[in-house]
Amino acid sequence: MLGCSTQHEASGTKEKGTSATKDPSGSSSPVSTRTIKDAKGEVTIPANPQRIADISGSTEELLVLGLHPVLTGNTDQANPSEVTPILKKELKGDVSVGGWFQTEVNVEAIMAANPDLIIAGPTQEKIYEQLSKIAPTVRVPYGFNAFRERFAFVAEALGKKAEMEAWLKAYDERAQKGHAQITAKTKEETFAVIEATQKEIRIYSRTGVADMIFNDLKLAKAPGTPEPDAWGGKVTSLEGLSTLDPDHLVLLADNDKNVLEQSNIWSGLKAVKNGNVYRMTSRQNYNEAFFALGKKALMEQLIGDMTKK
């Protein structure tokens, strides 16, 4: 490694000089590098990567930062062989798919994408050594539930902190304005986020759309909302809903053939009686509510739904 290094303590990175490194075409040429700290220790990566394979769930954040990955693990919750609808629009098919980032991905697909940098998440721990033999691999310490922490880590690792901060500033300002728009109508009324399947009911108070409702938009949480398990919600029974009667309900359900809407409790809920139920599919929640571009689009949908009456 040639040249001097400068420590950036806040981001845990060291800017390096150049080294004779093979680029994706296989030729040897000087490549500027930087050393960062990740979940595995220190790793030296290209200072300006051109072919990023993202299997950490951070593809939308990379696009916000002005980086276009050659491979993604952000796949459709309903079909892990395809990217999400938002990424279909943004990437226009110009990306390889490595499989869903929450599972062990397709190493052969990653190799075929010929990356000069791999960004991997906690789920890829078992194949880290395989990945690091393909290209320098950054092991992100945060999973998809920790949106802001994951976004900040990836941005700082790639020297894009200013871009990340600018995006979050605009997002938070929109959320603040959205809070004012919604509460001008709902006043101090309360909200709940419930996912209903054919088998069970989950009440959310953190992560995904619940994180947007209660932390970003800062809407009032309904009394009786249970403390969540580590994944952000609590599985409950129909009887468990007896203490939860929100003024407004965000319902995650793929159709109305679910345990909640098929019950006698449904029609008695205050939100149902007053027409304050905002529906979205579980698929949309998992495809959008954990990632930058999806959160931005979903924010507009929620504000629109809650203020249109």
Q: What is the pLDDT of residues 137-173, one digit of tens each?
A: 999 999 989 999 999 999 999 999 999 999 999 999 9
197's torsion region: left (phi>0), alpha (psi -120 to 50) or beta?
beta
250 falls within a domain: yes
Q: What is the pLDDT of residues 99-128, one digit of tens each?
A: 999 988 999 999 999 999 999 999 999 999
171 falls within a domain: no
Looking at the predicted structure, is the pLDDT value of residue 2 above 70?
no
φ/ψ of 179, rounded to 5, equals -55, -45
Averaged over 266-294, what is the pLDDT?
96
Supply the mean pLDDT for the chain: 91
Q: Are residues 27 and 130 in the same domain?
A: yes
Looking at the predicted structure, is the pLDDT value of residue 277 above 80?
yes
Say how far apart CA 135 and CA 225 lie, in whole Å. Answer: 46
- What CATH number does the domain containing 72 carry? 3.40.50.1980
Looking at the predicted structure, is the pLDDT value of residue 23 above 70?
no
Domain count, the chain: 2
170 falls within a domain: no
The confidence score (pLDDT) of residue 28 equals: 52
Closest alpha carbon to 119 in 74, 183, 166: 74
**CB of 167 within 8 A of CB of 292?**
yes
Paired sense of beta strands 117-120 and 137-139, if any: parallel
Q: Are residues 216 and 287 in the same domain?
A: yes
Compute the residue count for the chain: 309
Averaged over 182-202, what is the pLDDT?
96
Q: Are residues 10 and 152 in the same domain?
A: yes
The confidence score (pLDDT) of residue 270 equals: 95
241 falls within a domain: yes
Looking at the predicted structure, is the pLDDT value of residue 275 above 70?
yes
Q: State the pLDDT confidence band at 93, using cuts at 50, 70 and 90.
A: confident
